[in-house]
Amino acid sequence: MMRLLRQQGWVVGLLALLVVLLIVAKLIQPSYGAGDFGSLVRAVLPYAFAVAAQTVVVIAGGIDLSVAAMMALTSVTAAALMAGASEEFALLVVPFVLLMGFALGALNGILIVVSRVPDIVVTLATLFMLQGAALLVLNAPGGGSAEWLRNLIVGTVPIPVLPDTIAAFFPKALLLLVVLLCVVWIPLKRSRLGLSIYAIGSNQLAAFRSGVPVARTKILAYAFGGLFGAMGGLSLTMSTGIGAPIPGPYLMASVAAVVLGGVVLGGGKGGLLGPIIAVFVLRLARTILTLLAIDPNVTAIVEGTILVAVVMFGAFIAMRSRSR
């Protein structure tokens, strides 16, 4: 128990911070309630998937700058395919887009392994390529989304045993997020592949000497990053009903949330829970600034400053642990 607390101390602290922020929100605006929480979760959804994508890659010792572009491309692809198509057709679109994300992510990994160019440069190049591809699919925001897909994140989960006032705090979007992340992450983390991902991020030489296939593991880590990115892209299409080819601000947010969530840039450490809570914290901080009636543009500055400060802090920690 003590060890669990020690290992998960950071996550527990974040969770406490989240609760404090929720209370602050409630104090500032006494009417803050279930509906607002629901919209918070819906706003978090694409960020959360971006963070998940970044987390897998960072744990493996890399970094994925193309995550926002990947989301844009998968989002417009889904929107373009579903525009004017039948509801049933969307059942095919979803797996296709997920597979596409997985494959493009793997491509990132393959390019890194084959070209031997550092992760950060390769994913910068693919950032532009994926962006370009998104523009080719749709050169302006457009397309459509199947109704059932959009309904997946609207409303709350009906739980019969709970009174409505409490059930209202379980938005469908939260359920979707938790289910999707768990379905991918838990089996992955328990598998040998998951171990290998941590291993190559922690100490590539030791991993190699322990018989881990380093190249294959790296490619698969990026592939899972791509898969989460595709989920993020789909969630964008779900919440807006269209696809937009210009990437959103997800890259910086994902890196900051990863750092804030206790995953060390450089790899090997941390889990998915921390970064996901961190992204809630960051979004909620933004909500609170809005509730305080601060100019939304100023909010953007404050948010940006927080992100940069978090990343600087993370780099500082990484530097300290390297030099020791």
Partner 1 sequence: MTKQPLLEATGVAKRYGAVSALKNASLTVLPGEVHALMGANGAGKSTLVKILTGAISSNAGRILVRGQERDIRSPAKARVAGLVPVYQEPSLIPDLDVLSNLRLTRTPVEPFREWVRELGVPDLDLREMARDVPLAIQRVLDLARALAVEPDVMLLDEMTAALPANLAERVLDVVKRQSQTGRSVIFISHRFVEISALCDRATILRDGETVGVVDIEPGIEERIVELMLGAKVEKKRVARKQADVDASVSAGSTRIAVRGLKVGTKLHDVSFDLRDGEVAGVVALEGQGQDELFAALAGSIRPEGGTIEVDGKPVHFHHPVDAIEHGIAYVPGDRTEALAMQQSVRENIALPFSAAFRNWGPIRMAREGATVQSAIERLQIDTRAQREVQRLSGGNQQKVTIARWIAADARTLLCFDPTRGIDVGTKQEIYRLLRQLADQGKSVLFYTSELEEVQLVCDRAIVIFGGKVVDILPVEIADEAALTRAAYGLSRDSKAEVGVLAEPHSAPEARP
Partner 2 sequence: MSISTALPEQAPLGRRIKRFMSDYPLVPLLILLILLVLVLQMLSPGIVNQRWIANTVKFAIPLALLAGCQTMTMLTGGIDLSVGTAATMAAFIVATQAVDNPAPVAMMIALIPAMIIGFANGIGVGVFRVHPLIMTLGTSLIGVGCLQVYQRTVIASGAKVPDFLIWLGTGVTGGFPNALLLFIPIAALLIFIQKRTGFGRLLYAIGDNERATRLAGVKYWQVILALYMFSSILAGIMGLLYMGLIRAPSLSLAEPLVLPSVAAAVIGGTSIFGGRGSYTGTIVGALILTVLTTLLTILQMPEGARRILFGAIILLVTAAYLRIIEDR
| CA nearest to 268, candidates 188, 204, 317 | 204
Under rule CB under 8 A, residue 243 binds partner 1: no
Region from 28-36, 95-103, 208-216, 304-312 binding partner 1, contact rule CB under 8 A:
208-216
Under rule CB under 8 A, residue 124 binds partner 2: yes
For residue 30, what are the contacts with CB-CB under 8 A and spacing of at least 6?
none
Region from 28-36, 180-188, 222-230, 315-323 binding partner 2, contact rule CB under 8 A:
315-323
Q: 156-178 burial, b if ≥16 CB within 10 A, otherwise e?
A: beeeeeeeeeeebebbbbbebbe
Q: Which residues from 260-299 bind partner 1, rule CB under 8 A?
A: 268-269
203 touches, from partner 2, partner 1, none (C-beta below 5 to 8 Å by class): partner 1
Q: What is the dihedral of CA 14, 324, 218, 248, to 10 degrees?
A: 40
Answer for the pair 231, 63: CB distance below 8 angstroms, yes or no: no
Which DSSP string do the residues of 111-158 spell out, in sequence order? Answer: HHHHH---HHHHHHHHHHHHHHHHHHH-SSSB----HHHHHTTSSB--
Under rule CB under 8 A, residue 183 binds partner 2: no
Under rule CB under 8 A, residue 298 binds partner 2: yes
Under rule CB under 8 A, residue 34 binds partner 2: no
Angle at 179 between CA 178 and CA 184, to 5 degrees: 105
Kindly tell me which residue out of 208, 239, 241, 248 binds partner 1, with binding defined by CB under 8 A.
208
Look-up of token digits 């909620």 = 284
The span from the CA of 118 to the CA of 123, in Å, is 9
Kindly tell me which residue out of 240, 249, 289, 291 binds partner 2, with binding defined by CB under 8 A.
249
| CA nearest to 136, candidates 82, 77, 87 | 77
| Number of residues in contact with partner 1 under rule CB under 8 A | 21
Q: Which residues from 276-295 bind partner 2, rule CB under 8 A?
A: 295
Q: Which amino acid is at 73?
A: L
Q: Which residues from 106-125 bind partner 1, rule CB under 8 A?
A: none
Structure tokens at 292: 């305080």
Per DSSP, the three-state class of 84 is coil
307 touches, from partner 1, partner 2, none (C-beta below 5 to 8 Å by class): partner 2
Kindly tell me which residue out of 99, 121, 166, 206 binds partner 2, with binding defined by CB under 8 A.
121
Binding mask 47-76 for partner 2 (x = CB under 8 A): ----------------x-x-----------
Give least dist CB 11 to partner 1, A.
Answer: 16
Helix axis angle for 34-59 and 67-82, nearest 10°, is 120
Give least dist CB 120 to partner 1, A.
Answer: 21
Look-up of token digits 């990026």 = 222
Q: Which residues from 91-120 bind partner 2, rule CB under 8 A?
A: 111, 115-118, 120
Which positions lie near partner 2, rule CB under 8 A?
63, 65, 111, 115-118, 120-122, 124-129, 131-137, 139, 245, 249, 251-252, 255, 295, 297-298, 300-301, 303-305, 307-308, 311-312, 315-316, 318-319
Which positions lie near partner 1, rule CB under 8 A?
3, 7, 192, 195-196, 198-199, 201-203, 205-213, 268-269
